[in-house]
Chain A
Amino acid sequence: MLPTFKILIFALVLGTETPQRLTFEEDIRPIFKAYCFDCHGATEKPKGSLDLRLKKFAQKGGKSGISLKENAPEESHLLQRIKSGEMPPSEKKVPAEKIALITKWIKDGAPTLRVEPDNLPPGIGITEEERNYWFFKPLLEPKVPDLTLDQKKVAPLDSFILARLQQKSLRFNPEADKRTLIRRAYLDLTGLPPTFDQVERFEKNTAPNAFEALVDELLASPAYGERWARHWLDVAGYADTEGDSPNDSLRPHLYKYRDYVIRSLNSDKPFNQFIIEQLAGDELAPKPWDELSLEQRELLAATGFLRCGPDITAGGGAIAEAEQTFTESIKIISSGLLGLSVGCAQCHDHRYDPISQVDYFRFRAIFEPAFNPSKWRKPAERTAALMTKPDREKSAQIEKVAQELASKLQAETANTIKVIFEKELQKIPADLHEPVRKAFETPETKRTPEQKKLFEKYPKINVRAGIIDQYDPKAMAELKKAQATIDAKRAEKPKEDFYAIMSEVPSKIPATKLFYRGDYRQPLQEIIPGDLSITTIHEQKPWDCPTDNKGESSGRRLAFAQHLTSGKHAQFNRTMANRIWVYHFGQGIVETPGEFGKLGTLPSQPELLDWLALQLPKNNWSLKAFHKIIMTSATYRQSSVHRPEQDAVDITNQLYGRFPLRRLEAESIRDSILKVNNRLDETLFGSAISLKEDIAGVMHYPDNTPRKTIYMQVRRHKPSAFLLTFDGPSLSPNCDKRTPSAGTPQALALMNSEFIRNESNHLATLILKNQTNDTTTLIRKAWQIVYQRLPNSNEITLASNFLNESKATYSATKSKDPSQMAWTDLCQQLLASNEFIYLE
């Protein structure tokens, strides 16, 4: 084989170009870490005495002899054992392209980047390469490229983008036209389109700050809070059901957390404060909690964040279920706030990122006193009551009356049973009456075998409360009536209401122990709380989490929340800046918003991300200020039209040479349709609106409740069909990013669903209300309502021809109202069309 051919094959196997020079630190150790360290590195006594943490150790080998020989892959025992599939012994084998890398590295003399030390402390530790991975580097003010465009200094955000565009000889798209811009801003900030009048007014406003003023206006509207709360609820994994099996029990109180999020965003609560309250509102709300002030209520509602994950103990279960529930919540907190999936470090050191198993448990320890699986509290026990003292007293009085009625009913039931029994007794031989009566009066568990035999022989004498209707339906009806009276009495009680909260029970702080292989039944050494080591590795002094109990609560979560929002936490800041960017642009600077580690994608604009990450604290954590920085940028305001020269170098728009066009989210489609139909009920807040299950077991939004979708019940097991069809959040356990798709189920829903047909009918009625016979006027009206623009002459012809033909068909088939039908059809196509359901 020719040498060049060999190289070609090699390159093909790798799928990428081969690095010039492979080194242990950069290329080989990560492979060993992923596949070998569990036994040969992480443990204090490596298996077979083979330690692979350093090349030096590998060379030394273990019990099976020399493991690695420079330039000699054939004689390197470790490579041979990996190649044969003997190692690792688990099912997960080293893939061929990685074996090829190891082979090449050995062949090239097994170089290292640095001189290796002679010894290492136990554990995997954190290497130089890992410290210097972009996401773990400290957050430093990046140098803003100094650019001018059309004699004007380019704003910082735009100069980062423009600098990269210019490197590829590209430029920004021109600014989008005003109608597109106002629609974009409305849909982005409120999830709803503007009205035709609003568009017209904006188009006529030639003031230089017109768009800025528009953004301010939208940020001040309550719909902003609802729209952006929905984004945050995806991150939190919010649901109105627990996700337990089999019931998927309802969470009747968590909606108050949803409302808290809406209120917080609308009031532009500083984002650091917002985070602190959600992680530790209970630690900020002074006790007692028996007469809750408004402030206490808000702080306790905030802790609902920690109650959003699936709580599978709702349906019963013990420690295993409690542990699982805790684990899911840790996943939400870490991916949501730190941009790292720490979950796999529960069982072993993270195979790709420098997160050790100890780190995982340090992180867990912050939340241990609150979740406390060893003294687990089920959902119903994690509440704060809203009832006042007079209400409680009134309730107690009613209960007293109900109790009296209940004991009366009990006596009546016993009497009825007795009467039936006596009647049945007459049907069996008289000599048995006495022993049977005695057996009957003996409690079931205390009956002798002889007595049990009697019941087997005469099953009908075993009269019980639950089966009275099988003997005497009339008597049963009477008893049921009495029960109904009792229920009605109890219903008179003042309604109890609760907050679903996270809090700690004042007591000795439960110890956090490292679990062998993540198994809670095998606890090892105690672990003290702390942040992940890697997040503070560049700090002079790592963050100290309080360890002892200083009062009602451990204070761990509060301290952690403050540490997180200090403004210097690089991972938190970057994660948050990227999240907000994703929601504005539909694509991320990092495309995996919950995973910034090695398993995620690299940032397309690293300097910009750091600059943005620093803007949050710099603007006193004002989200609204942050939105404004983004939305008033040239990057945001450019047109979404493709240009061939940009497509040629950057089809995926990593450089942001155009605004990315995207489909509206499920909620936004539904809300927008209701809005243009003039049907949207814009009432804020309130308990979740139940879904309707149809005959086939599919869940639907109730048709007669045109509330915004954010107020519709979010079910973990059976979400609404609409949400499922239009890529609603997959709550497993939370949703870092929705992935819009364009498939036939969506087409069918827009062609045939009851929802679209009903709403189109409403819209047709709305349009036909205009007292005119002039079809053109009506068509213009329709375009104004749906598209917020006027139709051109082609469109008028298209629509009027359609209406004529359609009316003719419906007249021929003797439809009840051909005109209404034709208009319904037209409206449906407008509402289903791309122009309506896309944000340009």
Chain B
Amino acid sequence: MITRRKALFQLAGGIGGVALSDMLLREGLLAADGPSKPGENLPLGMISREPHFQPRAKAMISMFMHGGPSHVDLFDPKPDLQKNHGKEYTGNVTYSFVGRANKKLMASPFKFSRHGKSGTELSELLPHTAMIADDICVIRSMHTGHNGHEVSIRFFHGGIAGVLGRPTMGSWLTYALGNESKNLPSYMVLSDEGGLPVDGTNNWSSGFMPAYYQGTVLRPREPRILNLEPPKEVQGVSQQRNLELLKQLNKNHSMLHPREAELESRISSYELAASMQDSAREAFDISSEPKHIRQLYGIDDAETRSYGTRCLIARRLVERGVRFVQLFLSGQPWDNHNTITKSLSNICRKTDQPAAALVMDLKQRGLLDTTLVHFGGEIGRLPVVEGDFGEKAGRDHNGQGFSIWLAGGGIKPGITYGETDEVGHRAAVNVVNPNDFQATIMHLFGLDHSKMVYFHNGQAQVLTAGKPARVVKEILC
């Protein structure tokens, strides 16, 4: 039986794990799945598994914001920065763009105000996020210690700054907990039709884990999932006719091989595949969503259509048992080195409403309690100006201090946590690094990050890479 199971978990690669759990369940292998011995990996595959302790979150939607959203212009108001506009910063700054380096502080050109009962201060660029102020927890003390994009992105995804080839968060959650969904992969990536984010497909790599733990990309164009749909022309009646013919051919063949169970099960695998194809397609199709939902996400507005659609699909996926959905934008629209007043406003207009809509929608459906929502980038931006003041002014990279927000899935709502220094340069109080972030997320899923081990090349590996990492208990409810 072991070899049979071994066979089954090799299946998924082609379409990223679709249907594996279902097959395993149907074959009654779930029960055969015992605890792993020390020094051994969990039985590989997509079998749904119990966490270490009672979880708070069942699913997570991560809106990853490549480029470094400017926290001092969005989430972290700094009166001292406003006061000292144009003055020389006395602290030590590491620049990425030395050629445009400038030590003069730049006040935020945007107004902050308090919102909701919690009174969380947010920038005028985030009018929709302001409406969910009482649902989110803003962490203002994020810190990677590295200014580079890729370095910090990899820190967030894989646990070690700058290092590639490690499994990403979704891979770890899938490895640890298996797949709940009957027809969809457990780890899905919603990419931007404009192209790949910075660091490309590394963003959803399974690293040293088998390839079926890799994030399955819901492509912006058809086929939405590899092999999940035939070419457009063949969809519908033609494909049905094709499958009918194939079934007939296979049945004729089977008649010559009575009682050959494998041939029979292959025939039924096509029926299962066809039904999976239909239900997956249904999951990605938002045309059945009512008008008020489309409005909520801004689907009919040119500016918010793209990101709104992905946020809405993310909700539909979570409803259908997908464990981890990560949304990406093309390139790195938050990397506002120039004309920050304009470029930051632009990207906020595209994302603010859909992101807030997602939280509101999950909440009204009673899903927010068990769905962790994350909004944030890999770094923030410097309080000093990049280049010269004026229309073209921007901000350079800052991995020393920045903000993200979390909501739902066991996160305390309506709070802010941690602080940066007076001007927003460095995380100063209750510093949270990506390993702490990862440990906290694992905790919400009922997992001890230090005990969820994958053995690779003879070494025990954990998401947090064996580094000190703390569960940020203060933000849990």
Contact = CB atoms under 8 A, between A and B. Distances in A.
A248 B165 CA distance: 8
Interface string A796-840: 001000100110011001010000010001101110111100101
Nearest to A755: B227
Interface string B8-36: 10111111001110010000000000000
Interface stretch (B94-102, B289-297, B402-410): B94-102
B258 A746 contact: no
B226 A696 contact: yes
Contact of B457 (A92, A245, A467): A245
A744 B253 contact: no
Interface in B214-257: 214-217, 219, 223, 226-231, 233-234, 237-239, 241-243, 245-246, 248-250, 252-254, 256-257
Contacts of B165: 245-248, 717
**Interface band, chain A:** 35 or more
B226 A744 contact: no
Contacts of A749: 14-15, 227
A721 B103 CA distance: 51
A719 B458 contact: no
Contacts of A449: none
A245 B14 contact: no
B204 interface: yes
Interface stretch (A81-89, A722-730, A769-777): A722-730
A92 B36 CA distance: 10
Given A739-B3, A751-B239, A470 B23 contact: no
A464 B258 CA distance: 76
A460 B98 contact: yes
Interface string B156-170: 000000011110000
Given A721-B14, A724-B211, A835 B249 contact: yes
A141 interface: no
A740 B15 CA distance: 17
B82 interface: no
Interface stretch (B48-56, B261-269, B412-420, B426-434): B261-269
Contact of A745 (B12, B207, B254): B12
A212 to B, nearest CB: 26
B282 to A, nearest CB: 16
Contacts of A737: 3
B21 to A, nearest CB: 11
Contacts of B6: 730, 739
A661 interface: yes
B14 A722 contact: yes
A294 interface: no
Interface stretch (B270-278, B317-325, B347-355, B366-374): B270-278
Contact of A697 (B201, B266, B267): B201
A290 interface: no
A15 interface: no
Nearest to A469: B99
B217 A744 contact: no
B208 interface: yes
B393 interface: no
Nearest to B264: A742
A798 B245 contact: yes
B37 A753 contact: no
Interface string A658-697: 0001010000000000000000000000000000011111
Given A744-B18, A745-B14, A747-B270, A825 B238 contact: yes
Nearest to B263: A834
B387 to A, nearest CB: 11
Given A459-B98, A467-B98, A697-B204, A757 B230 contact: yes
Interface string B303-329: 000000000000000000000000000
A696 B245 contact: no
A562 interface: no
A810 B234 CA distance: 9
Interface of A: 90-92, 243, 245-248, 310, 312, 321, 324, 327-328, 456-457, 459-460, 462-464, 467, 470-471, 591, 640-642, 644, 647, 661, 663, 693-698, 717-719, 721-725, 727-728, 730, 737, 739-749, 751-753, 757, 794-795, 798, 802, 805-806, 809-810, 813, 815, 821, 825-826, 828-830, 832-835, 838, 840
Given A693-B201, A743-B23, 5 more contacts: A246-B164, A467-B98, A721-B14, A749-B14, A809-B237
The list of the 9 closest CB pairs from A to B, nearest first, reads A246-B165, A724-B13, A470-B99, A697-B201, A725-B14, A696-B217, A739-B7, A246-B164, A459-B101
